[in-house]
Amino acid sequence: MDKVSFTQMKDGTKEDYEFLTAHEIDHTKHTAKRLLKALVDLDESLSGYQITRLGHSVQSASRAWRDGADIDWVVSALLHDIGDIYAPYNHDEYAATILKPFVREQCTWCVATHGDFQMLYYGHHLEGADPNKRDRHKGHAYFDDCAAFCERWDQSSFDPDYDDLPLAFFAPMVEEVFARTPYDPEVIRPGAREPLTNPERAAERQA
């Protein structure tokens, strides 16, 4: 079988759906490679900054890596703007949806809300914008984490003179994260908080 027999889902047979399930399982094994390609495609996205959107992504991840962040944080930093091309009005939620089955809840929440937190840096320059938009999240367990995410890795990562690590450096980490069992409770860990920085690990990585 290379195609299902039905034209309406309600008419599908057991064999049809067994075939599709096997096909979809194989397809999901290549998610990481598609995401890495999508990162390269970010260079067709919004321009005007001193570096490209891909450059911003790898710079954010490079800063996270050099801060000693764990793999969930690093991959989240790398992919946090991957929605820029296809979801310019909710790119943060788009990226978070991609990450949600595979990284800690803490990281997903920060990616999903970072657009609100970033307003702190430029909202006061734009008529009708709210520089304090992040305040709607005050009291949330991950509020301080997202504030730090934006301050350390996002708003600071537009520097053409920064020594970015190449995208290929991060590829094995993306592969590792997206090879995880989706929604594994030991990965998602609702309510768990891990620090963004780890001085000892950072020192080892910069040695």
Q: Where are the domains of the chain?
A: 14-206
Dihedral of the CA atoms 84, 89, 90, 91 (nearest 10)?
10
State which amino acid sits at residue 26.
D
Over the stretch 75-117, which tens digit does the pLDDT of each residue have? 999 999 999 988 989 999 999 999 999 999 999 999 999 999 9
Q: What is the CATH number of domain 14-206?
A: 1.10.3210.10
Residues in the chain where the model's pLDDT stays below 50: none
Q: How far apart are CA 11 and CA 17, in angstroms?
A: 11
CB 74 within 8 A of CB 173: yes
Indicate yes or no: pTM above 0.95: no
Token pair listed for 191: 């309510």
